[in-house]
Amino acid sequence: MSSEPDWFWPVEPGPTLSGPTLSGPTLCVDIDGVLADATHRQHLLASRWRDWDAFFEAAGRDGLLAQQAVLLDTIGQDHVIALVTARPAWIATLTQGWLTEHDVRWDVLIMRSNADFRRSSEMKTAAVWQLRQRGLEPVLALDDDARNVAAYARLGIPCVYIHSGYHG
């Protein structure tokens, strides 16, 4: 289990240069709806005027979706676990605290930069590009949004769809 990341970076449109070097096969895993049970905060997005700030501020109270966390524990140590989430970087500390509290295995945390308003699928496509630029090779992804599953497929990465019920 990792209590501290090897690195964290917010995804930007181009490559990022900070962080130590890891290499090898990589599993890309979403957080909300895959590892974190965000059911209690979905109502904040239900109206025409979605309260994204409150939605993300409440993420620290999410429950753990234990079956996926157990799956991460079974992945060989020769594989890198990259958490690729569209959560904004301004909740990085909250997210890292939640991961530590729930003893989730991970090596890399990739979050949307605070100024990034692209679709989740576009942000995750950029994250894969950045992973590959760093010598990591995504071999499998876990995601709960069919648009992200399709984006991974376009990149040649098999993706296991986890039905969270959050996405239409």
Query: Over the stretch 29-44, which tens digit does the pLDDT of each residue have?
Result: 999 999 999 888 877 7
**DSSP E strands, 34-157:** 36-37, 63-64, 80-88, 108-112, 136-143
Residue 136 pLDDT > 60, yes or no?
yes
Q: How far apart are CA 106 and CA 24, in angstroms?
A: 14
Output the six-digit token pair for 26.
């990589």
Cα angle vertex 117, ends 112, 118, to 5°?
85
User: What's the whole-number average pLDDT of the chain?
Assistant: 84
Distances (CA, A) of 130 to 10, 15, 127, 146: 11, 6, 5, 22
Residue 117 pLDDT > 50, yes or no?
yes
Residue extents of the structural domains in the chain: 7-37+64-161
Q: pTM of the entire structure?
A: 0.85
Report residue 11's pLDDT band, with 50, 70 and 90 as the boundaries.
very low
Q: How far apart are CA 139 and CA 13, in angstroms?
A: 22
The candidate with the shortest Cα–Cα distance to 32, out of 140, 164, 158, 168, is 164
Question: Among the CATH numbers 1.10.760.10, 1.20.120.430, 3.40.50.1000, 3.40.30.10, which is that of 7-37+64-161?
Answer: 3.40.50.1000
Residue 17 pLDDT > 80, yes or no?
no
Q: Half-sphere exposure (CA, 13 Å, Cβ side) for 4?
A: 1
User: pLDDT at position 121, please?
Assistant: 95
Output the six-digit token pair for 89.
């970087």
